[in-house]
Structure 1
Amino acid sequence: MESHSPTVSAMTQLLPPGPAVGLVLSTRPTLSVADAIRTRRTVRHYRPDPIPAATLDALLALAIEAPTSWNLQDRSIVVVSDEAGREGLLRATGGQPQPAEAPVVLVFVAQPQAWRADRADIYDQARRAGAWSEDFIAMFAAAADDFQHGLERRGLLREYAIKDAMIAATYVLLAATELGLASSPMNGWDEAAVKETIGITDRDDLAIALLIALGYPAEERRHPGRRPVEHNVFHQRYRRADGT
């Protein structure tokens, strides 16, 4: 892709020094990330118990901490918890039980055109946090626009926005486990029906990335196992399972 923007290394040199500042963590006992990864299972059947508002708020706050390309934050989450909405998602997913039984379904919406919107608030937040200098913001904004124009030329804006939404969805799966919630990522649905349910039927500029059902499990799921690491992890170059 042709570019006259500053390089990433040049922009990085403009970042102010200092430790990274993240969320203030609770002092209560928590699962490690490794434990959350190992213990999480996909659950299809849920008890009707509601998710406390504070728990759901904490989960969503963690979800939006997920990184996005160029910090565009080009994804949204629609929380569907009323009966009518979950019935709509039940139809959109072909009658799978999760939307009917889980008290909450999260719909991850990708925003391929988010880069065209005003991003002054994003840059102002970074400025006030001391994370980005004025020079860095100027270079970063120009480089971000240049990169997005390149994606547009190649027809990749939708794909990149969905990737960003999927990172946030992964955060939800792990954070939900730490918060004592079961989850089920759902990738089998009719996009038009999902859009109708959440009120964006006429929004061709938006795409559905993933649905995640959330709640308290009504079943125990055993780990079905995974192929060994060496089957799927390669160093330097990809190879097929037969070693070629």
Structure 2
Amino acid sequence: MSVAEAIRTRRTVRHYLPDPVPRDALDALLDLAVEAPSSWNLQDRSIVAVTGDEGRAGLAWATGGQPQPQEAPVVLVFVAEPQSWRDDHGDVHEQARRSGAWSEEFAAMFAAASREFQQDLDRRGLLREYAVKDAMIAASFVMLAATELGLATSPMNGWDEAKVKKVIGIGDRDDLAIALLMSVGYPAEERRHPGRRARERNVFHEAHGVRAAEDGARRE
């Protein structure tokens, strides 16, 4: 399945078969999740894979009784780490140097520029927003990879963050934030595509509200 096919065929599934997700399939999903890009390559997100009955029951409680955690054999919790930029990222820089992606000079420059950028975000209260964005990108990778593997997913909103954090053991971590919950499993229902608005409704050129024909007229 191509990426384009995965995008077009993916549907949000709320009901699941009890069949477990094979460990190698789950590992493949998580491997692909960590390949997702992140701002300044900080990789400021983590994923908690919840597969046990107790954990999934806890997430059902945290989501107000939604069916996905009760039925899906796996629920992934995407955790944003807004303060991770303060940690040592020497391993990240060393890996990039070893692979030939970064030179020694670039790594040093990149590290200094990243810290300056994060300090500015901190001053403006935007650290959480940026970390959540990075976590959501990883979640998008998982949804498409799961589709290619024949698995269904449901990106979940409508949860109580404090309860979710308690269930996954970070109830006392104010430095972490919950970005998204995602159920993963084999579908017990067939969801039809509800349709999307025409591209012209939501895609603009050069400026918001300017459609392609209008942009072409302006250029003539």
Change (3 A) 1:240 1:136: closer
Unaligned runs of 5+ in 2: 215-220
Matched, 1:59 2:36: no
Give the match for residue 141 of structure 2. 171
Q: Which amino acid is 2:140 matched to?
A: T
Q: 1:87-236 maps to which residues of 2 (within 5 A)?
A: 87-236=57-206
The offset of 1:240, in angstroms, is 8.9
Write out per-residue CA displacement over residues 71-128 of structure 1, whole angstroms, 9 at most, x where no aligned residue.
0000000000000000000011111100000000000000000100000100111011
Q: Distance in 2 between matches of 1:240 and 1:108?
A: 35
User: RMSD of the TM alignment (CA)?
Assistant: 1.2
Higher helix share: 2
Write out per-residue CA displacement over residues 17-72 of structure 1, whole angstroms, 9 at most, x where no aligned residue.
xxxxxxxxxxxxxx100000000000000000000000000111001000000000
Q: Which amino acid is 2:78 matched to?
A: F
SS of 2:58's equivalent in the other structure is helix
- Structure 1 length as normaliser, TM-score? 0.86
SS of 1:61's equivalent in the other structure is helix
Write out per-residue CA displacement over residues 115-161 of structure 1, whole angstroms, 9 at most, x where no aligned residue.
00000100111011111000000100000000000000000000000
Q: Distance in 2 between matches of 1:228 and 1:205?
A: 41
Give the match for residue 217 of structure 2. none
The offset of 1:167, in angstroms, is 0.2
SS of 2:187's equivalent in the other structure is coil
Structure 1 runs of 4+ aligned residues shifted over 3 Å read none
The offset of 1:197, in angstroms, is 0.3
Q: Which amino acid is 1:36 matched to?
A: A
SS of 2:17's equivalent in the other structure is coil
Change (3 A) 1:128 1:79: same
The offset of 1:224, in angstroms, is 0.4
Q: Which amino acid is 1:61 matched to?
A: D
SS of 1:38's equivalent in the other structure is helix
Q: Which amino acid is 1:218 matched to?
A: A
- Structure 2 length as normaliser, TM-score? 0.95
Q: 1:10-89 maps to which residues of 2 (within 5 A)?
A: 31-89=1-59
Q: Which amino acid is 1:188 matched to?
A: G
Q: Distance in 2 between matches of 1:84 and 1:196?
A: 13
Equivalent residue pairs, number: 212
Q: Which amino acid is 1:117 matched to?
A: D
Q: Which amino acid is 1:81 matched to?
A: T
